[in-house]
Structure 1
């Protein structure tokens, strides 16, 4: 049993959290981009 195993677990947790936040930010960016693109079309209707 390595003494740094708990540090490894924390780092893995941070990496997983970072990826989740990044994926969510990317999704929000894509949705926001689509809204901005479709705004002029919606205004015309």
Structure 2
């Protein structure tokens, strides 16, 4: 999927998530997810 298609399919602008400090995800990370994980907090 191209970046243009991804941006068009978001319900809320990505900038709004980043400004609010929202991080959506799971507590479990598999090897296949490695390239998609930006960072991980110590408690999660």
Shorter-chain TM-score: which interval?
under 0.3
TM-score, normalised relative to structure 1:
0.21
TM-score, normalised relative to structure 2:
0.21
Larger radius of gyration: 1
The one of the two structures with greater contact order (alpha-carbon pairs below 8 A, sep at least 6) is 2
